Amino acid sequence: DAGVTQSPTHLIKTRGQQVTLRCSPKSGHDTVSWYQQALGQGPQFIFQYYEEEERQRGNFPDRFSGHQFPNYSSELNVNALLLGDSALYLCASFDQGANTEAFFGQGTRLTVV
């Protein structure tokens, strides 16, 4: 049983560009959350998707948007990239109905130059 998978693992983008990160949740999980982790800091909650809708959002600008597909996979989009967006982006999934603990992927390391 595959856990949470994220792609790509590493990415380099130029300031001002747009990026899309992808996440496939653990089998049986229907809810996906995204987190941003800057170097030396704990993960910060960006938003959460359930039933293809954004259900909760952290303190992140509108440049950060997302989507959830019918198969529960999810995308995180960031527009107009800033140098400060360089971070490890983590996806976590869980089963809303079972209230299981969150399972995290290995993350995507985004570098903005």
> What is the distance between the alpha carbons of residues 103 and 90, in angstroms, rounded to a whole number?
10
Minimum CB–partner distance for residue 48 and another protein (Å): 6
Which listed residue (50, 65, 73, 86) binds another protein by CB under 8 A?
Answer: 50
Minimum CB–partner distance for residue 104 and another protein (Å): 3
**Contact residues for another protein, defined by CB under 8 A:** 4, 31, 33, 35, 40-45, 48, 50, 55-56, 58, 90, 92, 94-99, 101-107
